[in-house]
Structure 1
């Protein structure tokens, strides 16, 4: 079954937090809702959870109509699981008791699991690698272990959809990477539908089947991670996901000539009409090619950062600062004059946009 959001709007007084959102989430799909603070992604998640009701439109989960402007099913009666940013574990319950709670009380728990809630709780803890810590209290656990408990509790009754609100933002960088892998593993094992809210582009690109990019209460673009990254449809998506620079120039059919080096000609296949109408071309930092031979756009290195396998540069072109990446083996000094060309992407079949 799918989860359907149809023509959803949400106002808080005169402020329109969501503007006509429609989205379909397939069973077993991992959807990342990506956008900056204030774009409406958490409001959307709260509507799915039942913490808010829509001003207009309706939501159906697993065939059940759970939200409209007239009637909203409360969170405890929806077939959902929820993982919060703050873990939200009960301090007086052990690890096993945290997982047993929804099994005993959730209306969508299978009858056999409700009857044998202790056995089901231990099975779920084994799934997340915490069966040996079943009797521990939350204050005896590390941050990563607490997050695993929160995941186990949310998955225990096998919800139709698992909602995750920036669940890794309070963890350190190395642990976040480990937990991404853990969530992906659990997704493969349980085949749960997941809606994952984040402002971290790397998380969304690494984990999701599809990404929903939001801005100012609206959906800017929906697609696979590859499609979103390679074929942005708006300047906002190009900048937010790909960190792209909008290069000014002139379009001649399907070829682009940058103003800074009009003798260059770039292929425009896959570039959105929005950019063509604005006479711009989005170029990501990884698409730039450096050279000391003046055969491209003249630039001056204004900053350089060594990043192990690569070097990140800020270069000035015609008064504008452009961010570019080169292999670590290529080293340029601050103040050095360089030439920039764009690496032409290999022909690729566009990924499914959803």
Structure 2
């Protein structure tokens, strides 16, 4: 009886609350082991939330109920339904059950919406959305919201996937971008689909790509979501590019947070222009004072020491040298292997000394 009264109150107010179950109204396949589930409120209530927030679904899997959190992939500008886009990973239980058993007409319980990873309500800003895998969902919700709002839309949307066929909601995004020229899409894949032409970017996201895709990235608010190693790499790139990290926001789709105090601490190394460092070139018997923001290559040149170099962007690997002591902050663009890094080698053009460093040169 209590639940019935709460549902009636929700219907009278016109806004859905999690006292009422969700009724599945459609299931749309997006990619392999991936689908978008849309829900309505049985009472006819509408949904109110912020773009980028999440729901926690109560899933009746065999062996006992599990609670699974998913970012809402729909936009609050379309309040009649609410959607989540889910991707089953190896060992998935709740998501696997949804893909195999949740069909239109079924009801499930949910709590939320919740979360602080969202856009400012009224400010009109320039955005750079960066995502990988199913981390595309908050970017999709935010872009749809900005598209529907229709004022001051300026979005550069970067998404990384294994193959083109793995890009979630690609047609939806392309439809919005085709109507609003200031929504610019960039998809980056690591592999081609067999027998299909791919003319977009290939490889892994790096600093060069960020500069080519969004030359004005310094002016943009960055929102990032994806696997933790991916987001770590994005932070490293932006720090190395001198980006103001006060304008960087990220959400782990593994563990979204409800309140600001739950945000994880990142032990990022950020070279400081006001902090001194020392680079000792052992074979040349030269030691040079510098700033943490100087590259080892620049310090060597100023000291009259020749280190062969080419691109100066961490791509060609020409400036590879052995670091025999100390630490550097290095963000490269593919010009050095993990084995070389483990062996103590660095690329002088994109390595910045932290404290005292010794180089075999």
What TM-score do the two structures reach when normalised by structure 1? 0.31
Structure ranking higher on relative contact order (CA contacts 8 Å, 6+ apart): 1
TM, length-normalised to structure 2: 0.31
